[in-house]
Amino acid sequence: MTTRPKPRYQQLKESIIARISSGELRPRDRVPSEYELVDSTGVSRMTANRALRELNVEGYVDRVAGVGTFVADLKAASHVLEVRNIADEVELRGHKHSATVLRKGRRQATKDTAALLHIARGSALSHVQLVHHENDVPIQLEDRYVREDFAPQFLAQDFTQITPSAHLSAISPLQEAEQRVRATRPDKHVRKQLQMGSAEPCLLVTRRTWAHGQPVSVARLYHPGDRFELTGHYAPPGTEKSYQGNADIIELRNVKK
C-alpha cells in the first residue's frame, strides 16, 4: 500500500520554505512567480497561487500585485515568532538603546544547559552576559548561551552594536521559540547591574529558540520588576484586514511610574 502523496500546493510550500531556510533564497530575493511555478512544476496556476498565498499569510513572503513575490525580511520572520528584539523595542519607543558587555567567552555545557539545548554535557557553547539600557537606564540583564556549532562567529560580534538575538536571526531564520515568565527575587549581581532596590522583585524571562528543528540558544532575561512589564495584544484573525494581526504579541513596555 503506497502512502498517499502530500497535496501539490503543500509540496510547493515546503519546497520554498526549504529554499529559504537553507539560505538559497535570502530576504528580499525574488520567489518564482505563479506562472513560473506553473511552467516549472506543471501545476495549475490556482495551485501555485494557493501555495504562495498561504506562504504570504504565514509571513514567509511578501507579495505585491504587479510586481512579484519576495522572501520576507528576517525581521518579519521573527515577527512570526512574536518575539522581538529588545533594541527594536526601545527604538520603537523613540528611545536610545545601548548595551554593556559584562562577560563573554567559551563554556562547556552544564548538565542543565545541555538538557535544555538537547546536546551532550560538555559540548562547546558560547556565552555572553550583557546589560541593555534604555536612555542609559538599565532595563534588561541578558545571560545567553548559544551552540557554538550553530553560530561559530558569535563571540566575534560587537554586542554593543548588534544584539545577540539579532545576530542569531541574521544567521538563520528562527523557527520556534519557547518562553517562560516568572517573578523572582534578584540576586546581588542582578540587583547591582539593574540598579534595583533591595526589595524590588524581578521579572525573569527564560527563552529558548530553535533553528533547523533544534534548540540553538537559551537566554535568561532579567527585568527590573516595578519598572517594566511584558504586554501582549491578541487580535481576532480574519476580521477586516487584520490578517497577520497576531504580529505584535509580545513587546516590552515601560511602565509610567
Size of the site for DNA (CB under 7 A): 28
Q: Cβ(86)–Cβ(163) under 8 Å?
A: yes
36 scored as a contact of DNA (CB under 7 A): yes
185 scored as a contact of DNA (CB under 7 A): no
* CA distances (Å), origin 220, targets 13, 21, 111, 142: 34, 26, 16, 6
| Radius of gyration in angstroms for the set of CA atoms belonging to the chain, rounded to a whole number | 21
Residue 108 DSSP SS3? strand
Cell 562567529 belongs to 153
Q: Which does 54 bind (CB under 5 to 8 A by kind): a copy of itself, DNA, none?
A: a copy of itself
Q: Which does 35 bind (CB under 5 to 8 A by kind): a copy of itself, DNA, none?
A: DNA
Residue 243 DSSP SS3? coil
66 scored as a contact of DNA (CB under 7 A): yes
Q: What cell numbers appear for 74 in the block?
A: 528576517
Strands of the 61-64 sheet, one edge to the other? 30-31, 68-71, 61-64
Return the number of the residue (66 or 213) whose C-beta is nearest DNA. 66
Query: Would you list the DSSP string of 70-91?
Result: EEPPHHHHHHHTT---HHHHHH
* Chosen residue from 93, 95, 133, 185 binding a copy of itself by CB under 8 A: 185
Q: C-beta of 128: minimal distance to a copy of itself in Å?
A: 23
68 scored as a contact of DNA (CB under 7 A): yes
Q: C-beta of 241: minimal distance to DNA in Å?
A: 10
46 scored as a contact of a copy of itself (CB under 8 A): yes
**Range 195-214, binding a copy of itself (CB under 8 A):** 199-203
Measured CA to CA, the distance from residue 125 to residue 116 in angstroms comes to 12
Q: Which residues bind a copy of itself (CB under 8 A)?
A: 13-14, 17, 46, 54-55, 57-60, 80-83, 175-185, 199-203, 223, 225-226, 228-239, 246, 249-250, 253, 255
